[in-house]
Amino acid sequence: MTDNESAALTRALGAEIRHWRNIRKMSRAQLAALVGISDTTMGRIEREGPVDVTNTWSIAAALRVPLADLVRRAEEAAFMNAAAERSAVNVAQLESEASDLGISVGRYGQEFGFDFNAARAGLARADFGLAARNEDREKPRLGDD
């Protein structure tokens, strides 16, 4: 795992913690008090991600979310975000190359076998997939109160 991938996963874990705190209708201060850390530290964790496994475990327990689920969901989000970013960069790069060559994007795609419309539709599907995933995350699971 690269440093960028690790940082993305850590940020996604922080976002997942914020998501579950909101689902549980807890303030940041309430969660911080349950875990035994300051409100400021909790804010940093939600923005940048946790750096301490013990705090992460304590946060998961306070949120009544299994630690494995919290990490798995963060991994999924980090993977989807990375895939969407790579796709966007590839489409933008190819569009730029077409422009540099002075030919239309459609003609460039035909000549080199790349369908820009399909690529853009794929990005839209990836965005929709993230939105659907976020809606699905809010559905209570067995064992949730």
pLDDT at 23: 94
Structural domain spans, the chain: 3-137
Query: For the chain (length 145 residues), average pLDDT per consecutive 10?
Result: 80 92 96 96 92 91 94 83 66 68 58 56 49 48 48
* Token representation of residue 4: 């960028």
Question: What is residue 43's predicted lDDT score, i.e. its pLDDT?
Answer: 95
Q: What is the pLDDT of residue 5?
A: 78
pTM beyond 0.85, yes or no: no
The superfamily in CATH containing domain 3-137 is lambda repressor-like DNA-binding domains (1.10.260.40)
Neighbours of 78 (CB within 10 A): 21
pLDDT of residue 83: 67
> Given this model, what pLDDT does residue 102 score?
64
pLDDT score, position 73: 87
Per residue in 21-49, is it b (16+ CB within 10 Å) or e — as a string?
Answer: beeeebebeebbeebebeeebbeebbeeb
* CA gap 105, 117 in Å, rounded: 10
Q: What secondary structure does DSSP assign to 114-139, as a single string?
A: --HHHHHHHHHHHHHHHHHHHHHHTS
